[in-house]
């Protein structure tokens, strides 16, 4: 079992009420809900941070796409999508 550590968070009363309502609805503790939310947040943001770091590294290596070329490609994709939905 993982070691746990307590910490305190201050938040708006409305958020606490929503947490309590969700916990009650799921027959779980507030602690369980908060831990699930933190895990999901960390997972999502770790992925984003990694992708940003990869992008910065690529830019530092000079692996860039010209803005006008990118806009042209995006406009073509949008046009194709619009045609396929028509």
**Per-residue pLDDT, 68:** 95
Q: Is the pLDDT of residue 29 over 90?
A: yes
- Is 1 within a domain? no
- Is 22 within a domain? yes
Domain boundaries, position 77: 13-85
Q: How many CA atoms lie within 13 A of 47 on its CB side?
A: 5
Q: How many domains does the chain have?
A: 1
Kindly tell me the sign of the dihedral angle through the C-alpha atoms of 25, 28, 31, 36.
Answer: negative
User: Nearest 10 degrees: CA dihedral of 32, 35, 41, 42?
Assistant: -150
What is the average pLDDT across 11-30?
96
- Is 3 within a domain? no
pLDDT tens for residues 30-76?
999 999 999 999 999 999 999 999 999 999 999 999 999 999 999 99
- Is 5 within a domain? no
- Is 65 within a domain? yes
- Is 33 within a domain? yes
Are the CB atoms for 23 and 30 separated by under 8 Å?
A: yes
Q: Is the pLDDT of residue 80 over 80?
A: yes
């Amino acid at each position: 079992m993982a070691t746990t550590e307590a910490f305190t968070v201050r938040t708006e009363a409305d958020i606490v009420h929503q947490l309590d309502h969700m916990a009650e609805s799921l027959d779980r503790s507030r602690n369980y809900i908060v831990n699930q939310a933190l895990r999901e947040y960390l997972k999502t943001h770790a992925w984003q941070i990694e992708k940003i770091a990869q992008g910065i590294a690529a830019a530092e290596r000079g692996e860039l796409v010209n803005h006008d070329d990118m806009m042209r490609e995006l406009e073509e994709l949008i046009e194709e999508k619009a045609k396929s939905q028509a």
